[in-house]
Structures are given as C-alpha cells and as structure tokens.
Structure 1
Amino acid sequence: MNVFVTGGTGFLGMDLVNRLVEEGHDVYVLVRSQKKADQLFNRLSQKEQEQVHIIEGDLGKEKLGLSVVNMKELTGTIDAVYHSAAYLSFDPNDRDALFEINVQGTKNLLALAEQMQVSKFIHVSTAYTLGDRKEGFEQLYPLDSNFVNAYEESKCHAEHAVMSYQDRFDVHIMRPAIIIGDSETGEADTNFGMYGVMRAVELLKKKMARSRDSLSDKKMKILVGLEDTTHIVPVDYITKLLVAGLTRAKKNHVYNLVNPSPPDNHLIMEAIKEGMDFQAIELIPYEDYSTLSLEELKLNEPLQVFKPYLNRTIYFHDDNTRDLLAKANEPSLEMDRPMLLRIVRGFRDRRKTLIKQ
C-alpha cells in the first residue's frame, strides 16, 4: 500500500515508519524540515530509504501547505493515512497551541485526505481522552467530560472530528496508553510518563554521588500510589497493533491499545531502583505527604504532573483490540519484571548508545 504518515519523525512515528517499510509498504512522511527527514533516514538501510518519500508541509496550514506538485502526486495515490502527529503538553498555558495543532491540524488533514481520495484514515489518539473516569470504553467520550488537562480535551475533540468523516472513508481511532521503550532493546526517545520518574531518579543519584553523604546512609522519599496500576505499553507493541489495523481493523471503530495486565507501581518502582542501580529511595504513599523534607518536596514536585497517569488505577475495556490481535494472529502483551528492567536499562544506557552511533 501507499501510506501517508504524520508524526513520522517522532518517537512512535519513526518506529511506525520502520515497521511499515519492513512489511513492504511505500511510506510518504510529512516533515517540516529536511533535518527531521535526515533523522528518520539515519534509521533506515539504503534499500528501505527507497520506500520512504519525504513530503514537506505543516499541519497548521490549509492542505498542509503542500505544493501543487505534491498534491498532484498524492491525489489518487495514497491508500491510507496514519495521523500520529500531536502536540503533547500538560501546561495550561499551552491550551491554544494544543487545540490549534491537535484539533485544527487534524481537521486540515481530514480535509486533505478526502481530497487525496484515500480509503482509510487511522488516527492515533490517547487512552486518556476518558478524562477523570476510572473506566475506559472503546467509544467516543462526551466533549464536556471533566478532563485532567487541555491535552486530553484537545485529543477528545480531534477524535470527534475524525468520526465525523466516517461516511467519506473508513476511520479507525487507535488509543495508546503510556508509551515506553522497545520491549527488547529498551530504546526510547521520550521524556514523559515513567521517564519523568526515571529522570528524577537519575538526577538524584548524580546529586548524592557528588555529595559527601554515602548513598547507603541516606534515602529520599518518593510519593507513589504503590497499589495502583499503570498502563505502560512498549512502543513496538503499539506499532504492531497500528500496522495490524491497516488491513484488519473494523471500520469506524475505536481501539484501546492498553496493557491487559498493567503492572502495579510498586513493581515499576522496584524495577527503576534495580535498573538504575540506585537503592537510596524510599517509596511512600501520598497520604504520608506531610513527612517529606523540603529537599524531598523539591524532588517530588516535577513528578506531580504525571500523578493522574502513574497513580490512578483505570480499567480499560479492550475487546476490539483483543479481536484485532486474534485476527492478526499476534500475542497479547505480557509485561513482566525482566521486560521492565530492559526498558529501564535502555534509559540508563541511552548516552552510551548515542556515543556508539
């Protein structure tokens, strides 16, 4: 197939492009600059590069700002669109930018997809358009839901825009949970979710190593809902599902791409401690917030933005996703301690990997 991809130079997008190319598809990737395209090509072999076509454009513009030549080339050529580009921010000051990119950008792409005469539109959303609910369904949520932040709200509006096109081409909404590194290599290029916690631990380890205090003599407290579970999902598992959806997803359906057996936060934090080789952490529940020292309060402050995601147990229905896996003859995700350790160590050793490259 000829597939058009937005967000193809991002963390998830590059993995998606790689898998599409491996399966023999020709991929047209929207980029805003040649520098971004070079980053993508560096991950591909010479032969694979021949299957990737760079299209310069901008989601914020009508027809994405594509040239007349590009429009002529793409119209009647593209079979399916993957829309994975998005602006991710939890800062309330970014509300206007979030809606401009995530909502209006999606509408611009939908209009272009209709003009290109595509037959399928796969929208990569987020499992957290459910707002503050503790039960997630594979259906659209009301636009007036109580959202945790403007990012969630913008993605919910984008989902409604996508579904409004279901009479013009097949649409599929794919909702990944919290995406982390590759299940085998641990490789990742993201600073959100669990990586915010790992980054805090990494900085703490460096700080304590520089101080006169022995690492074994002092422990710092981190607030965690130890019994809560977190829907973290490896990037390669998500791309497997996205590509399976290209030929096997049911039209006009929503898919919750979540962890069928999400690990509890105690297991995640123990894996972080072991994988980062740093035991000078004491995990305490949020009810013990008052016991934190000023230094510990400062340590925990940047982690609070992730609290609604890393410290809230949510039950997600995923019947559509299970059906998709069965049709593709693919196993479901089984995340165990060794997988978590590989992912944590992938983060720990990321600079060594960059130096080797």
Structure 2
Amino acid sequence: MHIVTGATGFVGSHLLADLLSDPDTAEVYALCRPTEELSARQRLLDAIAGANRDLPVGAVERLVVLEADVTRPLCGVSPERITRGGDSCVFWHLGASLQWRKGRRDETFDTNVAGTRHALELADRAAADLFVYVSTAYTCGSLGGDIPEALHRPASFNNAYEESKCAAEHLVAGFGGPRSLILRPSIIVGSSTDYSASGSYTGLYGYISELRRFNEMIGDSTDTVRLSTNRDTRLSFIAVDHVVQDMRSIVLAELKAPQQTVYHVTGESECYVGEILDYMLKLFGLQDRILTDAETIQDPTPLERFFEKRVEFFVQYTRTEKRFVRSTSPGRSVLINELAKYIDAEVIL
C-alpha cells in the first residue's frame, strides 16, 4: 500500500496516476486539503486528469482520500484511519511550497520543514516501512561541479525554497522513525509521450511565462535589455514520467535490499543555457531585444532591473553548472532538439 502527500502537485499527480494504474498496487491513501470550491477527492481527480493519464477501469476504487493539511500535527490525520494490509507500506511525501522569495521564507519553512516533520510523525504512527521524501537536486545551493548523492551543507543558497528543502532533508535523515529515502529530481519537464506540460507551471514553464509577459509588456518598444547569464552552463532536464519511473524503481530496489539514503533522479546535463535561450527568444521574436552574452552588468537600466527581478529565480541556475552524480543507471538525457519540443508544446498554447 502507498500513502501520498502532495498528490495534487505536478510530480505528485503523475505518481498517483502511476500507482493507481499498477495492478499490483493495493490501496493508495492520498492526503489532500479541500478548498471552498472543491472537495479533496475532486481536487485529486482533477489533478489526475491534468496529468493526462487515463486510468484503467476500477483503478479509482483503490483511491482512499483523507482530508489533510501538512502544516498541522500528523497532517491533521488520525493514524487509525489508515488500515495496514499485508504488503509493505510506503509513505511518499511530496507536499511542499514552491515559494522562494525572502518575504515568504516563514511560510515556505512552515510547509517544507514543519510539514515534513508532521508527515514523518504520521508515517511513524502508521507503521510505514519506508518514508520517501521527494526533494530537489538543488539542495546543493551554491555548490557547483560534481554534486554527490549526500546531504549538503553549502555556504549559501540561491533562495528560501532550496534552503527549506535542504533543512527538511537533514530532518528526514535524522528522524528516528521508519527507514527513509531522499529522492532528488533536477529540472522536470512534461511528459515524454506528448511533450505537454502535463500540469507544470514552474521551472522551464515559469521562464516561458515570464518571456511571454515581457513580450506583451514591451509591445512595439525598441528598448533592449542585457541579461546576465553563463551561456556555457549546462542544465539537467528530466521528463516527469521518467522521474516517476526512476523513483518507483529505486523504492522497489530499496525495499528488497537497502543500499543508501540519497538518490539523484536526474537527467544528464546536456543542454547549454545559450542554446536554450536562443531558441526561446527566437520563438517570441525577442532575439534582438534580450541580449544574453553579458556575464555581469555594472550599470543596469530600469528596464533591465525590472526584467532581472522577474526572472531572478530562473537565472540563478544559469550561472553555475551542476553535474549530479547518479549511483543508479545514467539518467535519460534531454538534448536540445528534444527540449525544443517541450518548449514548442507550451509556446503554441
């Protein structure tokens, strides 16, 4: 059986759909917070639909919905409501806040650190065999070069989101409850089957949205902006369905024979920042308006400061290359020609 938090999110919805599609999976308990407009169950069903997954007949009957809130003790769930079957119990914790600005730091830590503690305590009370914390490869913060599958203590972080996820990793590793795994995806794009975003609005898609807004804002203006980047930096992309496949494979192997605690769930670093930006800017007709060959800008114009602020989160990752070491089989590479298909699928919407 499986217990899942964050199942209405991008990766969580794909994981939930995959678990329910597996005939060998027993019950799947999904913890979800209802809204004023939608019940918890309807939110989960909408998330599965957003993941573009057609479930087998009867699959949803194995979905057990528990109204929950990760910011509350035990996620607001009575452990007695979770009935253990005869198979192993895996607790997947994907519930997280993606807020990254300094002004939202307390909110981010409340969800990502305190929320993880609440999930750990619930997993312990529910007698889970394995607690799986889905983190991010970027808990390495300011570190560059080869990034090991180990807990990090970087000198600094790019944002509060990275910092909170790193703090949560240390919490998971030091918790005295069920055995734990920390899985770290890199930059996740949509489905490899049709290249659609499949429910994502962050990462690559967040950058595309900012370019779209900027293009609409400047209109017929002839102003140009310089963008500080390192065009030779390579980025690691991985399709969401490959993330789910890799995570489930790692969990299955660890249930059979424990090996380690931290795993990178990443693609090879194959796409150069310069190539990615050139392709996206050309699609929006911005290739002569946004100049990407400036590593530092000493005297930014008001428009440059505005644009830099809008894309601050994204450009932080274009300046220092990180190569994520994998102990499992090499990640499936997303080359620039394939990444272009993901970009095209979003831009034409």
Q: Smaller-chain TM-score range?
A: 0.7 to 0.9
SS at match of 1:242: helix
2:172 is matched with 162
Structure 1 residue 40 and structure 2 residue 47: aligned? yes
Per the normalisation by structure 2, the TM-score is 0.84
Aligned residues of 2:228 and 2:297 also touching (Cα < 8 A): yes
Q: Is the 8 A contact 2:79 2:122 kept in 1?
A: no
> In structure 2, what is the equivalent of residue 66 of structure 1?
77
* Corresponding residue for residue 172 of structure 1: 181
Identity %: 24
2:192 touches 2:240 (CA, 8 Å); kept in 1?
Answer: yes
Alignment partner, residue 310 of structure 2: 302
Instruction: Give the match for residue 266 of structure 2.
Output: 258
The CA deviation string for residues 15-67 of structure 1, in whole angstroms up to 9 with x for no partner, is: 11122222232321110012522413545545332232211111111222124
Distance 1:69 1:168, change over 3 A: closer
1:70-98, CA deviations, whole angstroms, 9 ceiling, x for partnerless residues? 24x35887710111111112211222222
Aligned residues of 1:224 and 1:283 also touching (Cα < 8 A): no
1:300-339 aligned at under 5 Å gives the runs 300-318=308-326, 320-322=327-329, 332-339=331-338
* Map of 2:231 onto structure 1: 226
**Alignment CA distance shift 1:154-1:301 (3 Å):** closer
Larger helix fraction of residues = 1
Deviations 1:102-132 (A, max 9, x none): 1111111111111111111111011111121
| SS of residue paired to 1:239 | helix
Counterpart among 226, 236, 242 of residue 237 in structure 1: 242
> What's 1:152 paired with?
162
Per-residue CA shift, 1:139-169, capped at 9, x if unaligned?
Answer: 1123x7422222222212211221124x643
Task: Say if 1:229 and 1:262, in contact at 8 Å, map to a contact too.
Answer: yes
Equivalents in 1 of 2:210, 2:235: separation in Å? 18
Rate the CA distance shift 1:246–1:275 in 2: closer, same or farther, 3 A. farther
Partner of 2:64: 53
Which blocks of at least 5 consecutive residues in structure 1 are unaligned? 326-331, 351-357
Aligned to 1:84: 94
Deviations 1:300-328 (A, max 9, x none): 3311232222332123222x232xx6xxx
| Alignment partners' CA distance in 2, 1:154 and 1:75 | 34
Shift of the 159–267 alpha-carbon distance from structure 1 to 2, 3 Å rule, reads same
Which of 116, 137, 142 is the matching residue for 1:132?
142
Q: Which of 275, 278, 281 is equivalent to 1:273? A: 281
Name the count of aligned residue pairs: 332
Which amino acid letter does the alignment assign opposite residue 258 of structure 1? T
Q: Distance in 1 between matches of 2:126 and 2:202?
A: 34
Structure 1 runs (4+) deviating above 6 angstroms are 75-78
Task: Check whether the contact 1:183–1:235 (CA below 8 A) recurs between aligned residues.
Answer: yes
CA distance in 1, matches of 2:108, 2:126: 26
- CA–CA distance in 2 between the matches of 1:283 and 1:290? 15
C-alpha distance in 1, partners of 2:75/2:84? 13
What is the aligned-residue RMSD (CA, Å)?
A: 2.7
Is the alpha carbon distance of 1:220 and 1:161 closer, same or farther for their aligned partners in structure 2, counting shifts above 3 Å? closer
Change (3 A) 1:291 1:107: closer
**Other-structure match for 1:198:** 208
Counterpart Cα distance in 1 of 2:79 and 2:323 = 47
Task: Give the match's secondary structure for 1:231.
Answer: strand
Q: Which residue of the partner structure matches residue 354 of structure 1?
A: none
Q: Which shows bigger deviation, 7-16 or 243-252? A: 243-252
CA–CA separation in structure 2 for the residues paired with 1:207 and 1:94: 26
Question: Shift in Å at residue 262 of structure 1?
Answer: 3.0
Taking structure 1 as the reference length, the TM-score comes to: 0.82
2:343 corresponding residue in structure 1: 344
Is the alpha carbon distance of 1:337 and 1:128 closer, same or farther for their aligned partners in structure 2, counting shifts above 3 Å?
closer
Residue 17 of structure 1 corresponds to: 16
Contact 1:194 1:310 in 2 (8 A): no
Residues 123 and 171 of structure 1 are in contact (CA less than 8 Å); yes or no, is this contact kept in structure 2?
yes
Secondary structure of the 1:50 match is helix
**Residue aligned with 1:263, SS:** strand
